[in-house]
Amino acid sequence: MAMTVRNMTFDCADARRLAEFWAAMTGWIVFYDDDPEVVVAPYFPHEGTSMLFIPVPEGKTAKNRLHLDLQPTDRTRDEAVAQALELGATLVGDFREDDGSGWVTLADPEGNEFCVERSAAERNAPAGVRSYRIGS
């Protein structure tokens, strides 16, 4: 039997604030009504995976066992990291290398860890791999 991932759910103190952070990072839209739960999705109605923010009374106490790896589509990794920091993220670990490879681990405003990788445009062919055209 197959299943679809419907939501990535975040327990949080301030659902609307955290949803606004993630909407700014992903370019998605915040959807809410009188319910304390808040959804972030690319559009509405949305049948794919979305992010769901649910207020809970207790705070985060340990490292995430699951985290998101984000790959920018319209900016560089470093621009996305700068944006995250401006929006209230904190730096957890910087794993960028001199050759431009690597990633940055951050925590959102409520301490949930996530990583920002290089964009597809920033990625190069693996070391030792040569590209060529047949017949050249």
What domain range is 50 assigned to?
Answer: 1-59
Same domain, 35 and 65: no
pLDDT tens, residue by residue, 4-60: 889 999 999 999 999 999 999 999 999 988 789 999 999 888 888 999 999 999 888
Q: What is the CATH number of the domain that holds 38?
A: 3.10.180.10
Inside any domain, residue 131: no
Domain count, the chain: 2
Peptide bond into 72 cis (omega under 30): no
Q: Which residue has tokens 């659902």?
A: 15
Q: Which residue has tokens 């401006």?
A: 86
Q: Is this model's pTM higher than 0.85 or not? A: no
Inside any domain, residue 90: yes
Q: pLDDT averaged over the chain? A: 89
The alpha-carbon radius of gyration of the chain (Å, integer) is 18
